[in-house]
Each structure stands twice: as C-alpha cells, then as structure tokens.
C-alpha cells in the first residue's frame, strides 16, 4: 500500500514521464520533463528505491560536496507534483528517472500504484529516437497508444509494432492492461547530430504535450535555445560538403513526402497554440531553461553513410541512424515500424524558426 503524505488532492491530474537512456535520443525527452519541473517548481514527493531497479555498475552513483560534507546521489526515479493554475487548472505528476536495469514489471507496478493513489486520468510517456530527419525542418513528433478508443478520440496512431522495446513501451502496455489511458509521444532526432542536448526536439515534445492536454506550457528561453542549436548545426554542416549534401537530400525527401500533406489540420494546430499563448491561458511559471552546452562547443557531426542501412526498405528510410554514440534508435522499438515523419502528427513543429 502506497501512502502519500503531504500531497494535496490533485485537479484532473496527468502523469508525464520520461526516462534517460535507450528511449531518450539527444536527452530530448528527459529534458522536457526537467523543463516542466523547473518552470512550474515541482515538489518531489517520492523516489523509488534505487537498489530495487538499478545496476550500479551500469548507472553509477555520484559523490559531491555539501559545505565540505561528502554526499552520495543514487540513480533512481523521482516523482514530483506541480500545481498549474489559470482558467482551467490541471495538475501534473512528473516522473523522471533512468531506464531501470532490472525488475521492469515491478517498476511499472510501482509507478501505476502512485498513479492510482493520485487519481491520475492520463499517462503521457515521452521518448526520442534517432531518425532520418533533417535538422532544418520541424521536428517530427508522433503520438501512439495501445488503446483503440483512445487513438480515435485523441487523433493518435494505434501502435502495431512488434520487436524489442524499452521502458517506454513496457510502461505504456502496463498502463493499458491496468485500464489507465496512456499515450507515448516520440520525437525524431537527426542521427547525424545525436549529441545532447537537443532543445529543438525538447521544444517539439512540449508543444505536442501542450496540444494533447490543453495546457499552456511556459517555454522560458527554450525557443531561443532551439534557434541557437539549429544555427550551430548549420555552421557545422556548412564546413563539410558531404554532410551538407546529405542534409539537402534529407530535406528534399522530407519536403516531397509532406507536400501532399500540407493540410489545414497542421496549420490549425499552430494557430490554436498561438491563440493560447496570446490569451495567456493555462498556468504561468518562472525561471528559464538553458542549454547544457553552447552550439559552438559541439563536436563535428559524424559523416553520414549514404548506403542503405539495416532495416531500410524500398519505401523510404526508417527511424534509425548509423552513429555509435547516443541511444539506440528507438524507431526499432517504439516507432510502430514507421518513421515519425510518416505519421499524421509529423507536421507538429517547434517554435524555432525553420526554413
């Protein structure tokens, strides 16, 4: 039995989760939850026992000094709550941690126990994958669910994927079997520039979350960070003709694929978001979200390999990249066998200025 002390009764609570590791290309998803926690000043009310779920040789604890006293921070998953005011108040339960090393079923059951006790009405799990997407275009964000009814009512894709999965897929299925509505949001990160952070992908996930749950999310400096990130990658690509040529080929493929889909639906979503921000609906928050490293400090993107990669078929590229560093392409595990750029939600864009 989970006992929650000091946690107030929540208003229409939504649980938003992200996990570092395999499901978090460019740290985009974990940074999105961290942004929500910072902007809305989340209060941690629970942390899972690290020894139950983590291999400390894989995720090592860190030692730090607090006024000369040595302390240890253990890898774990923490839950915090944020109270969002405004005309339509709606509270969030934020789950932020590292993909567990073991006992995934117990891990998910513990998360669901908190969701049940707090009266959570919807679980949104965010992830990011490496994909064949150009950094100069809006970040594709796909929304998927295992619930056919939820897919129809919320205009989502019903997942048909079969194959290896990560904690995002396991938690979503656990929610489905427990009767808790659950949605996964996936952002595609360019595989040729997979180093974190990726504020443009983080911004795209937050915009999609905003549309999904109907809350205005304060962005702080994130939009400016996204523009600076894109400018930095532009400069790096311009220094290497092979990378520049490859980016151009991705742009042409993306633009060709989306030309018939230049629908009013995508324009309507952007206009609705603009109206929410202009009218000041939802909750406000203080603070800013800054880059971990400036664009000028980034290493050169690895040169792409234009040859066909494993899993690529005649219909187009799949969401996975040839780079060795960074998380494994979650397109193999959560992309439903499709690239997010083929998703009806791929028109969702960040607030950054794209070509």
Give tens-digit pLDDT for 137-184: 989 999 999 888 889 888 899 888 888 899 999 999 999 999 999 999
Strands 69-73, 62-66: pairing kind? antiparallel
Q: pLDDT at position 7, please?
A: 80
Residue 240: CB partners within 8 Å, gap ≥ 6?
300, 301, 303
Contact 197, 263 (CB under 8 A): no
| Distance (Å, whole) CA 204 – CA 296 | 22
Q: What is the pLDDT of residues 8-65, one digit of tens each?
A: 789 999 999 999 999 999 999 999 999 999 999 999 999 999 999 999 999 999 999 9
In this prediction the pTM is 0.73
Q: How much helix, strand and coil, in percent to the nearest 5, is found in the chain?
A: 35, 20, 45
Measured from the Cβ of residue 329, the count of other Cβ atoms closer than 10 Å reads 27
Q: pLDDT at position 271, please?
A: 55
Contact 21, 327 (CB under 8 A): yes
Q: DSSP code of 309? A: P
Helix (H) or strand (E) holding 199: helix 199-213
* Inter-CA distances, 51 with 1, 75, 145, 199, Å: 19, 9, 31, 32
Averaged confidence pLDDT in the chain: 78
Helix ranges (H only) for 40-132 are: 50-53, 104-118
* Inter-CA distances, 321 with 39, 73, 126, 201, 318, Å: 33, 33, 20, 16, 9
Q: pLDDT at position 355, please?
A: 42
Residue 111: CB partners within 8 Å, gap ≥ 6?
15, 17, 77, 95, 171, 174
Contact 183, 145 (CB under 8 A): yes
Q: What is the pLDDT of residues 224-278, one digit of tens each?
A: 999 999 999 999 888 988 888 998 888 888 888 766 555 555 555 555 655 655 5
Residue 336, classed as helix, strand or coil, is: coil
| Distance (Å, whole) CA 85 – CA 165 | 36
Separation of CA 101 from chain center: 20
Measured from the Cβ of residue 8, the count of other Cβ atoms closer than 10 Å reads 10
């Amino acid at each position: 039995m989970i006992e929650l002390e000091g946690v107030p009764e929540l208003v229409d609570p939504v649980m938003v989760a992200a996990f570092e590791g395999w499901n978090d290309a460019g740290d985009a998803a974990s940074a999105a939850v961290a942004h929500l926690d910072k902007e809305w000043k989340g209060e941690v009310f629970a942390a899972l026992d690290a020894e139950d779920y983590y291999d400390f040789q894989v995720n090592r604890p860190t030692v730090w000094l607090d006024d000369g006293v040595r302390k240890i921070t253990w890898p774990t998953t923490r839950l915090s709550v944020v109270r969002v005011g405004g005309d339509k108040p709606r509270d969030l339960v934020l789950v932020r941690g590292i993909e567990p090393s073991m006992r995934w079923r117990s891990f998910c059951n513990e998360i669901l126990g908190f969701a049940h006790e707090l009266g959570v009405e919807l679980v949104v799990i965010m992830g990011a994958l490496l994909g064949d997407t150009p950094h100069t275009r809006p970040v594709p964000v796909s929304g998927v669910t295992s619930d056919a009814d939820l897919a129809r009512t919320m205009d989502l894709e019903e997942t048909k994927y079969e194959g290896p999965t990560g904690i995002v897929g396991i938690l979503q299925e656990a929610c489905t079997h427990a009767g808790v509505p659950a949605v996964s949001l996936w952002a595609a990160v360019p595989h040729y520039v997979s180093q974190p952070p990726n504020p443009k992908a983080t911004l795209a996930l937050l915009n999609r979350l905003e549309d999904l749950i109907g809350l205005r999310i304060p962005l702080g400096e994130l939009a400016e960070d996204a523009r600076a990130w894109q400018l930095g990658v532009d400069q790096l690509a311009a220094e290497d003709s092979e990378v520049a040529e490859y980016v151009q080929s991705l742009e042409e493929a993306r633009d060709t694929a989306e030309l018939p889909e230049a629908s009013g639906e995508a324009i309507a979503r952007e206009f609705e978001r603009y109206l929410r921000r202009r009218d000041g609906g939802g909750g406000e928050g203080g603070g800013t979200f800054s880059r971990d490293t400036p664009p000028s400090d980034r290493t050169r993107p690895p040169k792409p390999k234009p040859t066909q990669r494993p899993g690529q078929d005649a219909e187009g590229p799949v969401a996975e990249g040839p780079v060795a560093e960074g998380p494994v392409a979650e397109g193999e595990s959560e992309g439903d066998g499709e690239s997010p750029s083929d998703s009806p939600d791929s028109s969702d864009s960040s607030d950054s200025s794209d070509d």
